[in-house]
Amino acid sequence: MNQNKGAETAAVVGAYGGSRIWLYATWIGLAAGLMVYAQTFAFTDDEGFHLMAAQLIKAGKRPYLDFCFNQTPLNAYWNAFWMRLFGESWRTAHALAALETCAAVVLAGQFVLARLPERSWRLGGSMAATLMIGCTTNLVAFGPLAQAYGMCLFTTVCAFRLAVRAVERPRWWLAAAAGLFAGAGAASSLLTAPVAPLLLVWVWRSNRAGSRWIKAGSVALGAAVPFLPVFWLFVKSPWVVWFNLVEYHVVYRAAVNWPHPLAHDLEELTGWIVDPQSLLLGLLATFGVIYIRRRSGWSRERRAEFYLCGWLALAMAAEIASAHPTFARYFCLLAPFVGILAVPGLYAIGSRVLQPEKPLWPVLIVSVIMAGGLARNLWDRSTTTYNWADYEDIGRKLAGVTPPGKLMFAEEELYFLTQRRPSYGLEFQSSQRLDLPAERLAALHVTPESELRALLAAGTFWSAATCDEDMISDYDLDKIFQQEVKVHDCPVYWNPKPSSPSRK
């Protein structure tokens, strides 16, 4: 009898272990898909600013002190480091971000595999979490970019995983590592700023081994380390750093980019109502919280870990919703934590409607819905937006019509691709619309819009190029230059008209 029982146990373990191949294959497929997308269609017109900032840092420039930069700088320094090794290419930044995004999804899926109390659903739940998170359109579309989304996804999930382990063990270094990764996320984008203080409180409250005070202090110290460059820059020029990181976002961001953001923000914040992926994830996560709360078989410790996912998602959602203007893409940072919570919700529904010990059909159904939505949305994006290959064609033409030593006026993407430094004060295009005294703009290294118009009218710039229709009309580019050609429907201008008085 014992032999039969042992053989049965071995068979179950062998089947479970063998079926993990499908999970590993899913992780590998996700990594491959993200990498292919990152090297082909992944693009947003905001990331040129981030790539150009990394390019300037590589050239020895300092954010805030040498050029206007309204972000925390860690991701730009990270990209600059890899540019030193592999050259100034968007492909390197995209590859890194794709790996970071994939790692975040895998870490979330592995958490479900290790921590879901319903053992028969651990493998299926891990696969469901991987596909629900990894097929989220905003995560796929924006995670593999040169912006900080990939870095923030990876660091926040790492911080979460480390905090969960830190409360179980007496040593402080896991707590310090959790703080370090949480701080790295905030030092890359302030959209993840609530993560570190929330983990500090959670570690203090949930600690089960060692001193809670030492661990809480370790989280705080770890979170401060990634901000050391910011502290150093702040000592050099307190007001400039404060303006870029705080005052600009609180006072000026909406006025500069979106004078009437309320209608826009409402549209972005309610977009989930007509988005099947967001509705599905949100509903399953809600059912997951209800199930966890009512399920007697869950230990207090396991509940606390899954509840932490909910608190992290809510805290970041509140931070993102308070940004004016805000954008739906920002909410991709919530996907790993909402996806983890969605698995108990999927179990609660699937185990009652179908066979409770067989997660195949619930996982398959939700995966098809998420993958179908992703395919449809990515196809729509590929037919309606530009990509880096388009901008490379535009950049080649712009470089070809601009003689050495002549100035060009262009979007950040084209400055980056042509490896031409923008003129002084033009590194951050939106900053030209800042309504500040001249001495303040000079301290921020910003050329005011009135001066820029005068420079354009005087023929200071030999060439110009943009895919932004507003930029063309705002600066009357089609009236300043004699020659024009369109590349992918984007005009490239050169040779200022003779009427420009200072043309040389």
Q: pLDDT tens for residues 352-402?
A: 777 777 888 889 999 999 999 999 999 988 887 899 999 999 999 999 999
- 408: phi then psi, degrees, rounded to nearest 5: -120, 150
Per-residue confidence band for 499, with pLDDT thresholds at 50, 70 and 90: low
Query: Is 340 in contact with 305 (CB distance < 8 Å)?
Result: no
Query: What are the pLDDT digits (tens) for 435-483?
Result: 899 999 999 999 998 899 999 999 999 999 999 888 898 899 989 999 9
Half-sphere exposure of 501 (CA within 13 A, CB side): 2
| Confidence at 1, pLDDT banded by 50, 70, 90 | very low
Say what percent of the chain tops pLDDT 70: 95
Would you say 130 and 77 are in contact if contact means Cβ atoms under 8 Å apart? no
Q: Do the beta carbons of residue 303 and residue 117 sit within 8 Å?
A: no
Mean pLDDT (whole number) for 476-495: 94
List pLDDT tens digits, range 226-266: 999 999 999 999 999 999 999 999 888 887 777 777 888 89
pLDDT of residue 502: 43
Which amino acid is present at 94?
H
> Residue 503 pLDDT > 90, yes or no?
no
Residue type (1 letter), 264: H
CB-CB contact of 45 with 411 (8 Å)? yes
Crossing angle for the helix pair 173-186 and 212-224, nearest 10 degrees?
Answer: 30
